[in-house]
Amino acid sequence: MDASEVAVLRDAALAAFAGAEDVATLEQARIDHLGRRSPLGEAQRGLGALDDEERRRVGALLNGLRMEVTEAFDRRHGELDAIELGRRLERERRDLTGPARRVRPGRPHLLTQVEEEIVDVFVGMGFSVAEGPEVESGRFNFDLLNIPPDHPARGTMDTIYVDEDADVVLRTHTSPVQVRTMLTHEPPIAVVCPGRVYRADSVDATHSPVFTQVEGLLVAEGVSMAHLRGTLLAFARALFGDDREVRLRPSFFPFTEPSAEVDVSFDSASGWLEILGSGMVDPAVLSACGIDPERYTGFAFGIGVERVAMLRHGVADIRDLYDADARFLAAF
Ligand code: 2NL
């Protein structure tokens, strides 16, 4: 091994490193020119077979060669790292001065908006909010509300039963939530109970087997129908406008006595529109729920949220509220 052979090995290695355009190719060139099986590697391993003087001479030559080639490798490696970083930065470049991608904000469903609006009006008057289960016992949904076992509303034509033998139903109104409130709280009680309710109805433009109610209950000493009327007038004006009037028409519900349908005045063309049912809580209901009807009286009302939403927003078909058509819902 002499200086010219070393020069050949060095030139071959430097040429291979210079020709490597990426780190993987460069690594292969390192193995070829600096690895154990490379000519340099073999030569260094073969040093032991040489005599002392020759080993010192050739060993120094090979060490010098290894240092020079290793240095060249490191330099090229550094260059390729910089080049690849540059390529990557270019590839992942983001133009932060460009227009931002438009994010369309979501919003609550129209029914949720109207439900919350109704609840907010009563919360503003001092009512609390209570919720309860959608699967109910016949006892809470009917018995304690003065609806007897043979009442037609309890039949399978009107009520969806989860378990007929066990008298378990999908609640037909949110009244059982008020029943539960009366059973666990002393008057004065003022609650509104929003939620989904279920009836065995066929679907048409104004009926759905699932709909949404907000019921309200106020029980205290000295509560009269005047309080009911004043509360509902304030509600109608908050929701539909300060120029509204309300009109109570005699009606019947098993759980209120007397009972009244409540109409709100609209424009001269539509005249009066019915928006809810109401009444003074029947003393039998107060008694069944553990409240002394000699001391306390109360009023209650039930509002159909779909009906209010349809009146407020000019929706003609209740099915539009359930179809989940984004083009329709985006309008609200
Ligand atoms: C309607 C009528 C009404 C009630 C619901 C009620 C609840 C209890 C006691 C007495 Cl715990 N009454 N709720 C009273 C009158 C009418 O709803 O047509 N709703 C859409």
pLDDT tens, 1-28? 788 899 999 999 999 999 999 999 999 9
Answer left, alpha or beta for residue 314, where phi above 0 means left and psi between -120 and 50 means alpha. Answer: left
Q: Kindly report whether the global pTM for this prediction surpasses the value 0.75.
A: no
Tell me which of 217, 255, 259, 307 to substitute to probe ligand 1's pocket, judged by most ligand atoms within 8 Å of the beta carbon.
Answer: 255
Answer left, alpha or beta for residue 236, where phi above 0 means left and psi between -120 and 50 means alpha. Answer: alpha
229: Cβ–Cβ under 8 A, 6 or more apart, which residues? Answer: 246, 248
Element (H, E) at 197: strand 189-198
Residue length of the chain: 332
297 ligand 1 Cβ < 6 A: no
For the chain, residues with pLDDT lower than 70 are none
In the numeric block, which tokens belong to residue 126? 């001092």
217 ligand 1 Cβ < 6 A: yes
Structure confidence at residue 181 (pLDDT)? 98
CA distance 63 to 66: 5
Tell me which of 191, 197, 278, 310 to substitute to probe ligand 1's pocket, judged by most ligand atoms within 8 Å of the beta carbon.
Answer: 278
In the numeric block, which tokens belong to residue 328? 């329709």
Any idea what DSSP says for residue 271? -
